[in-house]
Chain A
């Protein structure tokens, strides 16, 4: 026996062991959940990919021509929403973090957070009942006066339930998350860098542009991606507001609008049967891939400027 000379075993306390294990389980769980979803989507989607086009709704020539307009509509609506929400959220976050007096800033931040608590079905109702009728005259004016601009080409939708209205609703929905994250990163700008800019003779706005925004850029990208993820997957509000058809079209104000994948699933799933179910699940798989790709690209963008991020 060599027990005498053997190195004493490091003491592992029960608490440490339990804690280490439980974090490991928690970490693994997320992978399992992701894998389970991915496997479900792939297995269920396979029959749809080789399905007879005649079984598809609207009789397109193949599955790909069926999903194409939907995928386009999904990305287009989410992109428009982001285009509206990100500048607005950045402005609100900067106002809260660097311009507003403290009292007002706190109140405003609270109101923005409240916006996140509104259920999407409520946003949908608001979109139909309030927003669409309100913007319709504006749309009519736009097509009459700026109709030469391809995005605003006529004829105008009579109901206002167009892709642009959807994008506005989506923008309002993703505004809180982007604002909250942007506010946090802007508040974390080191005082040192702000003072460096001011001491060089920067005005307040120049200081924000020189020190605050560059410092928060990667956080802002992350925030936008979270918002984009939500906009891509948003179902209820889109399904309620949009009057859909199967087109690929960039125009914003007409009554012919591309539907989104999530909304299309919600609208058609109750009546689907047989291969139709598989087809809808296959479109879900496409949505999954799109969202994944968007996240991947965003991470790549953030990583490319890593050395300049201020993290080192």
Chain B
């Protein structure tokens, strides 16, 4: 399952402070979209509004619409808990639950959605998810060991397995490789290429090479200065953004002149 995301004139506020201003864009299903931009430009904040995770911070709110296959995430009566079950998220630092084994970690989300799952179904799902995250061969002999005993890259793939185990429509990744070494980063990037066949993937990255390697489309965010809201400057095919951007600021950023 993979769904289209349409954002219409979205503003994000932290109490009175406007963090993101007037973002409109459409993200196609079965594609990878990268958000790039300097620190503090609101790209992570914007990413979090796509599964309402920004609401974890008291005082955070949005104006505007986020449509997932036409359904407004912020419509009346929409439960953020259910939104998050459809829109999975992988974080900057790998965060498997330290008190759970590898297997329990993979099943953590499933147990929330559907408490009763037979043992054989559970085993199948664990294998399928771990294979999907390219981790199965490395951990199949130690599924009952703690997830925190894995390397950073393995932990991050475990988190991806945990996210895809609930079969979401969309997968959000907030700088998923920034805490990883180059080899693990490559493993995650290969994995994204695989996952793209089934999911809409949105990734925030500080690494412009990564954006150009993995993404189909790229959105460049920027801020005019401290205390100013972040804005979407340019959104286009990755190739266009990195070779012939329309806006001067984009060219300055991707060519390394600032940021």
* A residues in contact (CB < 8 Å) with B: 190, 192-203, 206, 210-211, 214-215, 217, 305, 307-312
Contact = CB atoms under 8 A, between A and B. Distances in A.
A34 B108 CA distance: 46
Given A215-B98, A308-B100, A196 B159 contact: yes
Interface residues of B, number: 31
B97 A193 contact: yes
Given A195-B53, A308-B146, A201 B82 contact: yes
Nearest to B82: A201
B98 A193 contact: yes
B204 to A, nearest CB: 14
Most A CB contacts (10 A, CB to CB) among B97, B113, B145 go to B97
A199 B97 contact: no
A197 B53 CA distance: 11
Q: Which 9 A-B pairs have the closest CB atoms?
A: A310-B98, A201-B85, A214-B99, A200-B109, A199-B89, A192-B95, A201-B84, A196-B95, A308-B99
B95 A200 contact: no
B173 to A, nearest CB: 11
A193 B94 CA distance: 10
Contact of A206 (B56, B88, B97, B112): B112
Nearest to A199: B89
Contact of A201 (B93, B148, B166): B166
Interface in B136-174: 145-146, 148-149, 159, 162-163, 166
Main secondary structure, interface of A, reads: helix
A146 B199 CA distance: 59
B99 A198 contact: no
Contacts of A195: 53, 56, 91, 95
Contacts of B224: none
B222 interface: no
Given A308-B98, A309-B99, A310-B148, A200 B84 contact: yes
A312 to B, nearest CB: 6
Given A193-B95, A308-B98, A198 B53 contact: yes
A16 B109 CA distance: 52
B81 interface: yes
Contacts of A202: 81, 112
Interface string B67-92: 00000000000000111110011010
Nearest to A209: B112
Given A192-B95, A195-B91, A195-B95, A200 B149 contact: no
Given A200-B109, A308-B146, A214 B84 contact: no
Contacts of B112: 200-202, 206, 210
Contacts of A215: 98-99
B97 A214 contact: yes
Contacts of A305: 99
Nearest to B148: A312
14 contacts: A192-B91, A197-B97, A197-B108, A199-B51, A201-B81, A201-B85, A201-B109, A202-B81, A203-B81, A206-B112, A307-B146, A308-B99, A310-B98, A310-B148
Contact of B163 (A197, A200, A217): A200
